[in-house]
Structure formats: structure tokens, C-alpha cells
Structure 1
């Protein structure tokens, strides 16, 4: 068995973390796993740093003929048994490479919870060249079914995280950087600053939280097209002293450790692996009932507090409940970590994909 993975993301978001986790765990399990990703990208850098087999290509857009030809050559000569595509653009390039090389054993993982657009090109991407689709949540599976993908071509494999990656105490320097005193509450969100992540609803909730918890501090970690708009919103609400925007940070594990409460404010979400990271780090979580997030949390108050999407008042009420009821916060944090260890580990995610590779045999 020899697997070729393709991911086109240049930055570092949840999808790239999942590809890295899968590549690493497969290699640890003795599987011959190889990765093609974008030149100069963070996934390339981290994979090289971990000593994993990785190659850089331009991967420009979803129908990059040059990259497709290069990949087709590897498929013809490299002895690969499976081609696993991990992003929408990778799906376009990978399908084209498979058509050029005659390769048939193609798998595509879908992580985003909006329906693919109709059109000829997407019908090619989601057509017969893909042997199996991997949905990372039941919510994603439902979207693929609605688009017309036959159920027998869909396998459910949840994303997973390393439950021991975030080290207790590693966040102390970040708290010092922000001037957070010992015992003060730090409440935060770590996500790309895009519309579907819903940070504007978190920001709108902050004044309501401050009315009852005036010493609380807040942080939003990430970059994206809405950064300036969100900063303007915060300034308009007079939050300059209470809320910090960090921009992109490479030390998100340490920042997660620094938090006392994690808030996930998305109104669309394929699954939400950053929520898994927060639970694994034993953080009390307030999260929206969006996409696959409830599949992580389980029933409300099982491993976190669930609130409706786009509802700042509900976010504020849930955060205040955790602040005011320390026993609830502690019990949810413990239940959340147990849930990730039992159900959403990176090793479990690797084993789910490996079972699929074996089911599809060697092409």
C-alpha cells in the first residue's frame, strides 16, 4: 500500500492540521504515505520538519494543468495504490491528474458544510473518477447526499486531534504578553477571520459579559478578510481595552492553553477541529449548533454548552453561566477531554482512513 495525498492550502488551518495528522499517523503505523502540497506553504514546512515524505508544487487553482501533469507522472511511475485528495482545489487537480494517468483508486475528503455549486466542472470533480468520498461528519454526509453523491460512495471518518499536543502551563508566556494577572479570566476564539466563523456575534456578546464580569479579558486569534471589519466593530463597542486581536499566530497550542473559556461562534462548520483541541486541553467550551459541531459536543451539557448560531445573547448567557458556576465548568472540561480521547483522536482518524484504504484494496 502506497498513498499519495494532495492538499492545496498554503496557510495553516484545520484542514492542513488534519492532513498533517493523517500523514504522520500513517507513517508511524508503517504505511508508505506521501504528500504533495503547495510550495512555500506551512504544511510543506511542518511536514519537512517532521521528516515526512513531502513534495512542493505550484498548485494554482483547481485546474492547474502543469501541477496535474506532474502528479500524473508520479501516479504512473511511483507505484501508488491510492490517491487521496484533501481540499476542493486538490480535488480538481487530482481528478485531472487521474484522468491523464488512467489512475482509478481516488478518494476525496470533504470538510466544508456548504453544498457544492452546480455546473459542469463540479460534476466532473464529483463524478465517476472519485471512487469514495470521505465525510468528516454526518452534516457533511448529508450535504454530499443532497448534491447527488450515492450513499454507497460515502464513508464517514471523523477528523481527529492529538489529545496530548497542548501542554499544560505552556500558555503562561502568552498570558504575560497580554498582561493577564493570575486568576483573571481569559476568554477566546481561535479561527480564521471569515464570515462563517461568526466572530462578529462573539464580539457583540462581549459587552453583555462585561456587565457581570468586568475583569474578564478576551482574545481573537487568527487572520482573514474580515480582520479590519471586526476590529472596527470592536472599537465601535468600546472594547479596545478588553479585547485583543493577535492576527495570525503559529503558537496557537500555547494560546489555547492560556484560555479559561473557549468560544466557537461559527454559523457554518464542517466539524470544527479547533473545538476538539479546546476539549482535549480541558477547556470549558461554548459552541454553536452549526454543522458538525454538535457531533463533537454530543448532547448539550454533555461536553460543552451549545447555543444557536448568530445569537450573541445566547453566547453571553452561556459564557456567564460557566463563569458563575465553577463546578459546571470543571465537569464539562473533564467530560470534553474524555470525549476527545475516546472518539476524536488523530490515531482513530488514521485508523478510519486506513480501513477505507484496505476496503478499496490496491486499485
Structure 2
């Protein structure tokens, strides 16, 4: 049995975190012993500790924000942990855990080092000097990486452009979802009660999103779109499910724009599949992405989507079929698409407005785990056969 250790910076509510949790809890126990390493304070940490058969290690020094001393302490803790647990595979997620975890695994002589790109931590919001530094750091870390996994083909192309890896060193494995909770019905009483919680009347339209309140998701743009749409569609209402560092700013924008009766800031909720079923449209205003699982969830419900053309969004949403796409920051374009969707409802809010298509197999959680296991088997078999798994370093230093 091979030990597989997944490392992620923080188990907050998010796509990368849910992918990591599902992976460690569904790996074939006849072949793999799963471990999970994370930093403290995540909303999903307690849930992770209850997963049967999964050893969870919380490192107090592993945190998202850059802090030299804490990062050095986390690096040393990771090396010691890997030397004690002897994993065959270390599989990292997220930027901080990806850098510290891969170098710690290399120092601990872990045979197979894999990293999943859930969208890059190198973003348009960063100054050019920082972007160049981070690209160089990722390129150097690529030297010791056995294999890269990307959630979107767009991330593979970006990695090749930045010379992080070549095409043979990366695979696309989609961040799958379980569509069943999103496809079960919701009774009228539950729907009406939830909509009332959000300040939505029977004749109102509800446009919603599920997103962390951070620069990546551009919640300011969500507020701006809400303002423009409400000027044209007076019975439009908006709901933002999520929380984060930008909450005070978003609360202020809601007040300044006079939207307190039209935009409900709901915070995090654990009944997302139920809440999304009361939406009439789904709006995602992100400025950068990997491949947002929430768009797959909206597709599973049959919600029309309005989103920005960033990262792998166009690999999940086909323009004119599943929804409508605009450039990041295009408030007028996003607003026009939302208005189009709402007016197409012909005064009939509450309910699906388009047929529900079965999601392709590549977007299902079970397929994601199968592809992970296929890659693990491939590199473990190489090791058993006396063939060292090849990283960029080993490829260039025979």
C-alpha cells in the first residue's frame, strides 16, 4: 500500500479544498493510504478530521499570507512530517502549499511529487515585478516536480507559455462535482421560505452567486452589475453567498448604491445545493479563475449562467448554450447579459429556464478520482520497475 499525502494551505470553503477532501476520502484503500496536511482555521478542517481512514495533520505555521519566519517554520515542519510518515506521493494544492510542500517533499526524498493548479497564484492584480518573481519561483519549483495537474487546458497553455513545464509533464483533470444534490427537486414551501429570507417576493427575479469575497472573485463588480440591472429590471434581486476580507468594502458599496433592499449578503452557508435552486440566474464576476466548480453546479441545476471569460470558464460554459460570457470587468456587458436572461423568463421567476443536460463524465468527482489514481499508479509502477519518476530536474540532469 502506497501512502499519498495531499497538502493544501487552508481548508476554507472553496473548490480546491473540496477537491482535496473528496480525493483523500475516496482513494482506493486497497492501494493507497491517504494523508491530509493543512494549515489551521479553515471552515472545513473539522469536517476533514471526521473523514474515516484519513489522517489529518494541522500545521500551525502553515498560512496563506507571506511571513518569512512562519513560512520557514512550516517548511521545516513539512520536512520532518514527510520524513516521519514516508509518503510515496506528495500531492500539493494551492500556491503556498505548492511551493513549500514540493520543496519539503524533495528535501525529504519523497519519490513522487505532484502539484495541481487550481488557477495560478500569479494574477493580473499583481505588479509586474511580483509576477516575474512568482513565475521564476514556480519555474524553479518545476525542476523538482514529477507531474503537474491542471483543472483547465487554459492553465496548461499558460504554464507552457511561462516555461514551467512541457506538454508531456502536465495532465488536465477536471475538478469534478457530484451533480445529484443539485438535481433533486425543491418543494414550493422550502423555496418560498428561502426566497423570503433573502428579501425576494413571488414576482421578483433572483440573481445569485457563490464566491469568497476576495479580489479574484471581484465582488465589487457583482455589486456594480446589480446596480445597473436594477435600473432596468425593478423586480430584480441579488444574493451573494460567501464571505471574506472584502466584506466591509462590499457592505459599504451596497449602502452607497442604495441596494440594501435589493442585494442580500448572506455569508457562508452549508446548504448551497438548496440555495442555488431558488436562483433564476447565476452570475460570476471573477477576474481570474482555474475552472470554477460552481459553474458546473449551476449547469447541473439548469440555471442560465452569466460569467467572465477567464481561465477555464469557456471550457465549462458554452456561449449561448449554457449561458453568456463577457470580458472581466465589463460591467455593461455582464449587465446586458443578465437583463437578457431575466427578460427571457417572460415574467416567470422561480424555476429552471433551460433543459438540464447530463454533465460530461470528465466533470464528475468519480472520474476525477479515477484519473488521480491512474497517475499515481503510473508513477508508482515506474518506481517499482526501477524507473525513477522523471521531474523536469531529472529530465535535464540525467
1:138 aligns to 2:157 (yes or no)? no
Distance in 2 between the 1:261 and 1:30 partners?
A: 43
Other-structure match for 1:155: 171
Q: What are the within-5 Å matches in structure 2 for residues 104-119 of structure 1?
A: 104-113=111-120, 115=122, 117-119=131-133
> Does the 8 Å contact 2:142/2:165 carry over to 1?
no
> Does the 8 Å contact 2:199/2:264 carry over to 1?
no
Which one of 301, 320, 334 corresponds to residue 356 of structure 2?
334
Distance in 1 between the 2:41 and 2:258 partners?
A: 39
Distance in 2 between the 1:323 and 1:268 partners?
A: 26
Which one of 47, 59, 62 corresponds to residue 60 of structure 1?
62
Other-structure match for 2:181: 165
Alignment CA distance shift 1:236-1:52 (3 Å): farther
> Does the 8 Å contact 1:134/1:157 carry over to 2?
yes
Other-structure match for 2:237: 217
Which one of 176, 183, 199 corresponds to residue 196 of structure 2?
176
1:272 aligns to 2:279 (yes or no)? no
Q: How far off its partner does 1:3 sit?
A: 1.0
Tell me whether 197-206 or 101-110 shows the greater mean CA deviation.
Answer: 197-206
Q: How far off its partner does 1:161 sit?
A: 1.0
Q: What are the within-5 Å matches in structure 2 for residues 4-83 of structure 1?
A: 4-26=5-27, 31-53=32-54, 54-61=56-63, 64-83=71-90
> Does the 8 Å contact 2:198/2:239 carry over to 1?
no
Deviations 1:163-203 (A, max 9, x none): 11335328634323224334532111211122231222232
Deviations 1:316-348 (A, max 9, x none): 221222222239x9564523xx2x353311112
Consecutive unaligned residues of structure 2, counting only runs of 5 or more, are 124-130, 384-398
Q: What are the within-5 Å matches in structure 2 for residues 278-357 of structure 1?
A: 278-298=298-318, 300-326=319-345, 330=352, 332=354, 334-335=356-357, 338=358, 340-357=359-376
Consecutive unaligned residues of structure 1, counting only runs of 5 or more, are none
> Does the 8 Å contact 2:301/2:356 carry over to 1?
no
Deviations 1:279-330 (A, max 9, x none): 22222211111111111013x1122222222112222221222222239x95
> Does the 8 Å contact 1:114/1:143 carry over to 2?
no
> Does the 8 Å contact 1:286/1:319 carry over to 2?
yes
Q: How far off its partner does 1:351 sit?
A: 1.7
What SS does structure 1 have at the residue aligned with 2:380? coil
What SS does structure 2 have at the residue aligned with 1:85? strand
Other-structure match for 1:190: 210
> Does the 8 Å contact 2:92/2:115 carry over to 1?
yes
Alignment CA distance shift 1:251-1:144 (3 Å): same
What SS does structure 1 have at the residue aligned with 2:57? strand
Distance in 2 between the 1:354 and 1:331 partners?
A: 38
What is the TM-score normalised by the length of structure 2?
A: 0.81
Distance in 1 between the 2:122 and 2:197 partners?
A: 41
RMSD across aligned C-alpha pairs, in angstroms? Answer: 2.8
> Does the 8 Å contact 2:5/2:37 carry over to 1?
yes
What is the TM-score normalised by the length of structure 1?
A: 0.88
